[in-house]
Amino acid sequence: MLDDLKLMHERDAQDTLGIAERQGQQLVYEFEVDQKPVEVDNIVYAGMGGSALAAVLSQSWPGYAMPFQVLRDYDIPDYVSAQTYFIAASYSGNTEETISALEHAESRGAYIAVIAGGGKLAEVARAKGYPLAILPKAEQPRYAVFYNLKALITLLEKAGLLSAKDITTELQSATEFLKTAVQPWLATVPTDKNQAKQIALEVIGKSAVIYAGPKLAPAAYKWKISFNENAKHIAWYNQYPEFNHNEFMGWTKQPVDKPYAVIDLRSSLEHPRVQKRFEVSARLLSGMRPAPIVIQAEGKTLLDQLLWTIALGDFVTIYTALLNGINPAPVDLIEKFKKSLDE
């Protein structure tokens, strides 16, 4: 089925495969943001779902030299103050948890910045003169993650809150790397030569459990998001070394034939002890859980590996959706849920 281009085109009405192929270009988008240098003690980023993912990614790359917290809540931490750089991020601009958190941050006198595609957040930012990065239009928020990451980096770089150097150069290099890297996963590449299609076929009919070390944990989180939203296919994720302190035991009991697909996202840049944990865990759990699908991230830099792994997950989950006979793009039940909250 995955080599039937006509059938795939019919099911992929919003061309999510094309979006996955082109997403690297989002990283070189130029945001016009009126942001001046600031002096603060910490950064808090409020966002949900795909909007939160960009901040989670940024903790792995480029990282921070001051406390940074990703907030997925209506309320804010007690430490938020005038010494906090507070970013409210929502693709729609109407995410109720983020709007609530913003209002609390305003009451504490925090320094506010906004990332949004429009909506109430954009209106508030314009009315109050907050730095504002407007996200370009995308089919769904999860397809604008790299726009969101670039917007976040732009804000923080102009605010003088990033210690990493040559970020723009690294982003441009990674964009070119990703453009080439995704070619073997395109729909026109047959299954016997297409890693993404092969993984989708292994996963279909099973619940996916994705594991990674700390450096690729944001990518594992994105795989979880994409399995649930693209494929409408339940998935979870966790990371090493925490896995070995509790969840590891959960695989040791009955039933032996567990209906899961275990996916290990591995990086050569992880701590050597983390890399060894993957090997030892696989050996000790042999026969107690499905043998993991091992994915070794490609790329010389951490950013390359993060982007490569995320992009592969996007292709895998879109192909899984097509195997499930569904359009990957819509998330109708989420929209229905949001409306039902207001009834």
Q: Is the pLDDT score of 330 beyond 90?
A: no
Helix (H, G, I), strand (E, B) or coil at 332: helix
Query: If you ran DSSP here, which 8-state letter would residue 60 be given?
Result: H
The length of the chain in residues reads: 343
pLDDT at 139: 82
Cα separation, 189 vs 322, whole angstroms: 16
pLDDT at 331: 87
The model carries a pTM of 0.94
What do you get for the CA distance between the two ends of the chain, in Å? 42
Nearest to 330 by CA among 2, 10, 13: 13
- Give the pLDDT band (50/70/90) at residue 204: very high
Taken in order 73, 74, 77, 82, the sign of the CA dihedral is positive
- Give the pLDDT band (50/70/90) at residue 210: very high
Q: Looking at residues 34-40, what average pLDDT do you find?
A: 96
pLDDT at 72: 97
pLDDT at 261: 96
Which region holds residue 74: left if phi is over 0, alpha if psi is between -120 and 50, else beta? alpha
Query: If you ran DSSP here, which 8-state letter would residue 26 be given?
Result: G
- Give the pLDDT band (50/70/90) at residue 60: very high
pLDDT at 284: 96
Q: Looking at residues 41-45, what average pLDDT do you find?
A: 98
Q: Is the pLDDT score of 2 beyond 80?
A: yes
> pLDDT: is 29 or 339 the higher one?
29
Beta sheet of 84-90, edge-to-edge order: 68-71, 42-46, 84-90, 111-116, 132-134
Helix (H, G, I), strand (E, B) or coil at 296: strand
- Give the pLDDT band (50/70/90) at residue 255: confident
Domain boundaries, the chain: 38-159, 183-323
- Give the pLDDT band (50/70/90) at residue 253: confident
Q: How many Cβ atoms from other residues are within 10 Å of residue 7's Cβ? A: 13
Q: Identify whether the C-beta of residue 142 lies closer than 8 Å to the C-beta of residue 225.
A: yes
The percentage of the chain sitting over the pLDDT mark of 70, rounded to a whole number, equals 100
**DSSP states along 81-137:** STTEEEEEEESSS--HHHHHHHHHHHHTT-EEEEEESSHHHHHHHHHHT--EEEPPP
pLDDT at 46: 98
Q: Identify whether the C-beta of residue 187 lies closer than 8 Å to the C-beta of residue 8.
A: yes
- Give the pLDDT band (50/70/90) at residue 292: very high
pLDDT at 237: 97
- Give the pLDDT band (50/70/90) at residue 236: very high
Q: Looking at residues 208-234, what average pLDDT do you find?
A: 96
Residue with tokens 């296919």: 233
In order of 284, 286, 289, the CA distances from 279 in angstroms are 9, 11, 14
Cα separation, 277 vs 281, whole angstroms: 6
Q: Identify whether the C-beta of residue 191 lies closer than 8 Å to the C-beta of residue 3.
A: yes
What pairs with residue 132 in β-bridges?
A: 114
The topology (CATH level 3) of 183-323 is Rossmann fold (3.40.50)
Residue with tokens 């026969």: 287
CATH architecture of 38-159: 3-Layer(aba) Sandwich (3.40)
Cα separation, 155 vs 153, whole angstroms: 5
Q: How many Cβ atoms from other residues are within 10 Å of residue 333's Cβ? A: 9
> Rg of the chain's alpha carbons, rounded to an integer?
20
Cα separation, 17 vs 83, whole angstroms: 43
Q: Looking at residues 15-29, what average pLDDT do you find?
A: 95
Q: Identify whether the C-beta of residue 132 lies closer than 8 Å to the C-beta of residue 84.
A: no
pLDDT at 248: 96
Q: Is the pLDDT score of 307 beyond 80?
A: yes
